[in-house]
Amino acid sequence: MMYPRLKLARNLLTDDGVIFISIDDNEVENLRKLCDEIFGEDNYIDVFIWINKPEGRQISKNGAVGTHEYIMSYAKNSININEFKLSLKFLNELMPNTYNKFSHDILTDEYGDYIITHELYNGNSVFNEITRPNLVFDIYYNPETTDVICENVSESHLHDGYVKIPPKNNNVRNTKYKAWRWGRDKVVNEKHNLEFQQRNDSYVVYTKRRDFDITNVKDIITNINTNAGTQDINNLSLNGLFDFPKPVNLIKFLSSLIIKNNDIILDFFAGSSTIYEAIFNLNLKNNLSTHVIGVQIPEEVEEDSKAFKSGFETIADIGKERIRRAGDKIKSESNNNDLDTGFKVFKLDSSNLDKWNPDYDDVQKTLLDSVNNVVSGRSELDLVYEIIIKYGIDLSLAIEEYNCGEWTVYSVGYGALLICLDNDITKEIADFIIKLKNKLDPITLRVVFKDNGFVSDSDKTNIKETLKINNINEFITI
């Protein structure tokens, strides 16, 4: 069952898309082989191992108890992998040496958060006054004013109040000095991104990094385990309704590596809908507008479960309630009721239009029945959404209703598509549609009617011609 789903996933990925696949140790080897075939070995990025049981290794009478799971990642196109791996390399520098302590302290100054990373000295002896003469100079630092001066090593002078910090000795292949990582202009202009630490009578210079949301990373990485996932559910007063939910911070961590504004994330196995709560938080924190599509079959919950007794019949029902509560929670905590945490729910079904399936023993009755070709029990909105899907229009677009007497006109995408599915339509509706066009001023416009919705064929023809005169040429009947 994995192969067709992964094949579909690859087809749905954008050219710069990335896929993350969560799996335990039972199928991880098989998954790697499948992904190498479908995505290509060159598009393999990495495998993340996360500790889902932070208590540590355990041995039971039945054998070893698993403490971790895997998340395998592939790109659609290998040209994007190098940039992605640079982010991973930096994250690796930040990773905790143990599960409780971070490798770097997070400090703050007037310019914001930072960590101290490398020494400004270049450790490679190949970079010296011969190969990189512009990177070999003396630095003068004033501990009182934090001012910085740079001078050539052969032109150094004493400066009152300043300490001299020379480049390191090299003594390799007739060279005296190792180069700095930065040029002198950058040292002077970006001195706020340098850390001068005193050691006895000398100073060592380190670089500060500010090009990553370090606080966010620390908060995320240090709180990723199944206990945290359960707590996330409990924080929404959905205690005990879902077993082993993915932690919100795990999904935030993975998403933060790749998402850009207006991206679309597709979750094939939405489960308790952790992805929505994670993206709500990232959108708010980073001022993004990332969209999520979650897919979940209506898998029934056990009748003796707490979820069933709480009124939930399927896993999908739990997910929908979680999205509502997560949305309300983030609005409340941010004091911003204008946040868009809304969502639409669609169920996979057959077409709303009856197929032509004649009864050859009574063709006349079949012809009469086919006059109304909408499946019994389907609503107008059901048909509106089917039309939207068949046109390839974004399902998240707003749908507005306008009344023209007894007729209802649905506007999709602020007038890009107008749909009227009423009966007994006369030529007067053409004037109403023209007024809507002038009001909404869409770039393109098409109109859709029911084929049998007109009072007469002459009304249908008059409406079509009137709209055409007013530059509405796409006239469709179903």
pLDDT in tens, 367-381: 555 556 677 788 889
Tell me the per-residue pLDDT of 131-187, one tens digit each, with 9 for 90 and over: 999 999 999 999 999 999 999 987 767 788 999 999 998 877 788 999 999 999 999
Buried b or exposed e, range 427-452, using 16+ CB within 10 angstroms: bebbebbbebbeebebeebbbbbbee
64-103 pLDDT, tens digit each: 666 678 889 998 887 767 767 766 666 666 666 554 556 6
**Residue 279 pLDDT exceeds 80:** yes
Tell me the average pLDDT of the chain. Answer: 85
The answer, yes or no, to whether residue 463 has pLDDT greater than 80, is: yes
Q: What Rg value do the Cα atoms of the chain yield, rounded?
A: 32
| Amino acid (1-letter code) at residue 475 | F
Q: How many CB atoms lie within 10 A of CB 77?
A: 16
213-239 per-position pLDDT tens digit: 666 666 666 667 778 888 899 999 999
Digit-coded pLDDT (tens) for 301-332: 999 999 999 999 999 999 999 999 999 999 99
Question: What is the value of pTM for the model shown?
Answer: 0.69
Sign of CA dihedral 207, 214, 78, 224: positive
**Residue 3 pLDDT level (bands cut at 50, 70, 90):** confident
Q: Where are the domains of the chain?
A: 1-94, 107-209, 230-348, 371-477
| Residue 327 near residue 302, CB atoms below 8 Å | no
Cite the DSSP H helix spans in 222-360: 226-234, 248-256, 274-286, 306-309, 315-334
- Give the residue among 157, 171, 166, 164 at the shortest CA–CA distance from 128: 171
- Write down the pLDDT at residue 265: 94
| Residue 396 confidence class, pLDDT cut points 50, 70, 90 | confident
- Please report the sign of the dihedral spanned by the C-alpha atoms of residue 277, residue 327, residue 293, residue 319: positive
Q: CA-CA distance, 399 to 415, in Å (whole number)?
A: 9
Q: What is the pLDDT of residue 167?
A: 92
